[in-house]
Amino acid sequence: MTARPRRTHHHRRSAAALGYQAPRQPTPPGDVQALVLAHLRAYPLLDFTAGELARALHRSRTAIVTACQRLVDAGDARCTQQQPRRYQAIG
């Protein structure tokens, strides 16, 4: 049985090849709320889970959940389903 040859050097990939993105600055909570509300209003006939909104807006699910709850409390959105929670714009 022959041994597998050793790698004598390591290939480094460029940052672009790894899909690297520079870290973003934290978004203030009011801005996340505005992003969520704009997305909900852009699709008034659909309702979204927090995970779907997070993927669409490239924000954390936790930030989206907080923004959605604030929008519901303010009367700008409604919770259309409890499990999983789904949100839709009002008006």
Give the domain CATH number at 85.
1.10.10.10
Query: Residue 27's pLDDT is what?
Result: 75
Report if residue 52 sits inside a domain. Answer: yes
pLDDT reported for residue 28:
78
What's the total number of domains in the chain?
Answer: 1
SS3 of the chain: the string is CCCCCCCCCCCCCCCCCCCCCCCCCCCCHHHHHHHHHHHHHHCCCCCEEHHHHHHHHCCCHHHHHHHHHHHHHHCCEEEEEECCEEEEECC
Note down the domain range covering 45: 29-89
How confident is the prediction along the chain (91 residues), in pLDDT tens digits per residue?
A: 667 766 666 656 555 555 656 566 777 768 999 999 999 999 999 999 999 999 999 999 999 999 999 999 999 999 999 999 999 999 8
Q: What is the pLDDT of residue 30?
A: 80
pLDDT for the residue numbered 26: 74
